Chain A
Amino acid sequence: MKLTPSGKDQHRHVALGATALVALVLLALPLVAGWLGPAWVRTLAFAALYVMLALGLNIVVGFAGLLDLGYIAFYAVGAYTFALLASPQLTENFPNIARAFPEGLHVPIWAAIPLGAGIAAAFGVLLGAPVLKLRGDYLAIVTLGFGEIIRIFLNNLNEPINLTNGPQGITLIDPVRIGQLRFDRSWSIWGLQLTSLQLYYYLFATLAVLCVLICVRLQDSRIGRAWVAIREDEIAAKAMGINVRNVKLLAFGLGATFGGVAGSMFAAFQGFVSPESFSLMESVIVLSMIVLGGLGHIPGVILGAVMLSVFPEFLRHTVGPLQNQLFGRILVDTEVLRMLVYGIALVVIMLYRPKGLWPAPLHGTAPRVAPSTPAQPPVGA
C-alpha cells in the first residue's frame, strides 16, 4: 500500500515553507534597503514598530471590540519610562538619584523594556477600569480624552518638579546595548557591515515577530475566544460565565503592553522623546492601519501597518522629485499630500472593502448554507 502524504502533513509543509520565506524576506529586506539609502532602512525599522503598535491596538479594538482612540498614550508611557531610566534627565534634576547613581542612570534594556511594558500595562488597566461599562462612541470619547491627558501631562510636567522636561522633551537617551553590541554603531559580522539602523531594524523585527506569535496564540485560545465573544455579544458572553470585567481589563493591559514595548524601543532608537510625537494624529494613524488592513485579522493588521508606514516615505521619494522635475519646485508639501491621500484611501476602502484590505476569511464570505431540513429538489427534476 502506497502512503500518500496526508492533508495535515501537506499543510505543515506549506506552513514551514511560508515561515522560511517570510524569515528570509525579513532578513534580506534591510540589506536591500541599505543600497537604496539609509532613509529606507529607517522606514523599515519604523514599520516594525508600527506593526507592534497595530497588533497591540488590534487586541483592544479588533478582538475585544473596544474602540480606543487614545492608544498612543501607552506608546508615550513606554517611551518616557525608557527615557527616564536611561538618560541624564532624572540624575540632573533629582540630587538624591544622582547620589545613588554616581555614574548616571543607565538601566539596561533587559530591565528597561519590561519596566516600560509593565508601567504601560498598569496605565492600560487604569484606563480600562473606569470605562468597563462604556461601549462604542462613549468609550471612544473617554479614551480620546485619556490620550490627550497623558500628552498634556508630559508637556507640562516640568513644573513644579521637572520630570518630563516639558515640551523640550528628554534627550541623550542611551541607545540599545546587548552585551558588547552597541546599536548606535555599525557592526561587522561574517564580512557583512551592518549599520546602526539595520541593527535596530533586526531588533524591532524580532520583537514584532514575537508580538505576532503572541497574538496568534492568544487568538486561538480560551482568552481570545472570550474577547471575540464580548465583542459579538456582551450579554451572551456573560451568560456563558465569562467574567467580562477581567477579560476586558486583560485586553486593555495586554494591548498597552505592546504599546509600551514599542515606545521604549522608539525612545532608544531616536535617543530623544518629546510630547509632540504622541499626538492624537498618531492614535488615529495606528487605528487607520488596523481598520484599513482588516480589523481583528492579524495578517491584515500587519499589512495595514506596513503599508501606512512605508507609504509616506514612498510619497517623499516619488512625488517630491516629480514636482521638482515638472514645476522646478515643490508645490504641495508631501506631508500635506500624505494626509490627503490617507483620507482618500480610507474613504475608498470604506466604500469598496468595508471589512479592510485583508479581512478575516469568515467575514461575510461564509456560504449561505442550506437549512438543516433537506432541500427541495429543483423544480422539474
Chain B
Amino acid sequence: MPRDLLLEVRSVNKRFGGLQALQAVGIRIERQQIYGLIGPNGAGKTTFFNVITGLVRPDTGAFELEGRSYEPTSVHRVAAAGIARTFQNIRLFGQMTVLENVMVGRHVRTHCGALAAVLRTRNARREEEQIRRRSAELLEYVGIGRFGHLQARALSYGDQRRLEIARALATDPKLLALDEPAAGMNATEKIALRGLLERIRSDGITILLIEHDVKLVMGLCDQVTVLDEGRIIKDGTPGQVQHDPAVIEAYLGRSHVPA
C-alpha cells in the first residue's frame, strides 16, 4: 500500500571522539505510521533521535520532511518545522502548572510578543484564550484534564509522561517523536499508553518511537528499525524483524541464534 513519505533521513554519520555512534543510518517514515526504533543499550537510538530533532549535530546526513529538506541545526527550528519530541528522562517545567506546561507547547504556533502582552491588545487576548482552550483540550485528550491546576512535578510518573506527550502535541507536530515513553510504567499504564498512541495515530499524527519494551513495539509499530553499535542491522515489519538472526544475536548473543 503506497502511502506518502513524511520523513526521510539518509546516511547519518556521527562520531563522538573515538566512538562511531552512528554509521550511515537512515530511515523512511510514512504518514500515519507508528515507527519503532529499537536496539540494545548503547546502540545509538537516542543519538539518532537527537540528530533528527536537532539536539546533536551530525557529521553528515540528509533530512527531508514532507519532501522539503530541513537542516536540523537548531532544536527550535525543528520544532517549528513540525517534529515534536519527548525525553527519555522526563523534562517537564516542574514549577509550572500542568496546564501551563502544555501552554508553553503552543508557543511555536502563536505570535504575540511582549508589547502586545503589555498592552493586552485584542489579538493578544484572543490568542491567549485560544492557547488556554487548546491546552485544556489536549490535557483531556491524554487523560489528565483534572490535574490542570497542579504543579507538574506533583504528578505521578505515568501522568508526567502523558503530560510530556500533551505538551509535544501542543506544537501541532506532523511527527511525534517519543523517547522511551513506556519506561518505568506499570502494566496498566502501558496498556493505556498504547491506547493513547493508537488514538494519536488515528487522528493523523505520525509517531516515531524508541522503546525497550519489545512486546509494546511489536504490538504497536507498523515498521521497525533495529540499531546495533551505530548501524542498522535490520528494518522491516515487526514480524520480519522478530525472527531475524542478526537481531536475535544483537539482543541475546550468538548462542541463541537458531541454527
A235 touching B117 by the CB < 8 A rule? no
B104 touching A226 by the CB < 8 A rule? yes
Give the contacts of B119-173 with A (CB-CB under 8 A). Answer: 120, 124, 127-128, 131, 143-144, 147, 150-151, 154-156, 158-159, 162, 167-168, 170-171
**Quick one: given A224-B117, A250-B114, A372-B144, are A239 and B107 in contact (CB under 8 Å)?**
no
Taking a contact as CB atoms closer than 8 A, the residue among B91, B97, B108 that contacts A241 in the complex is B108
Give B106's nearest chain A residue, CB to CB. A222
Q: Is B63 an interface residue (CB 8 A)?
A: no
Bound-state Cα–Cα, A241 to B106, Å: 9
Q: Is B100 an interface residue (CB 8 A)?
A: yes
B96 touching A366 by the CB < 8 A rule? no
B159 touching A372 by the CB < 8 A rule? yes
Contacts of B117 in A (CB 8 A): 217-218, 220-224
State the B residues within 8 Å of A (CB): 53, 55, 74-76, 79-80, 84-85, 87, 91-97, 100, 103-110, 112-114, 117-118, 120, 124, 127-128, 131, 143-144, 147, 150-151, 154-156, 158-159, 162, 167-168, 170-171, 188-189
Q: Is A317 an interface residue (CB 8 A)?
A: no
B55 touching A371 by the CB < 8 A rule? no
B104 touching A372 by the CB < 8 A rule? no
Q: How far is the CB of B96 from chain A (nearest CB, A)?
A: 6
Beyond the given A225-B103, A368-B154, could you list 20 further A-B residue pairs with CB under 8 A, ordered by the A residue number?
A: A218-B114, A220-B128, A221-B112, A224-B117, A226-B107, A229-B96, A232-B94, A233-B93, A238-B76, A239-B76, A239-B84, A239-B168, A240-B107, A242-B107, A242-B108, A369-B147, A371-B159, A372-B143, A372-B156, A372-B159
Q: How far is the CB of B184 from chain A (nearest CB, A)?
A: 13
The 9 closest A-B pairs by CB, nearest first: A241-B108, A221-B117, A371-B156, A241-B79, A366-B151, A238-B75, A232-B93, A236-B91, A229-B104
| Candidate in B76, B106, B167 with the most chain A CB atoms within 10 angstroms | B76
B108 touching A240 by the CB < 8 A rule? yes
A241 touching B80 by the CB < 8 A rule? yes
Contacts of A345 in B (CB 8 A): none
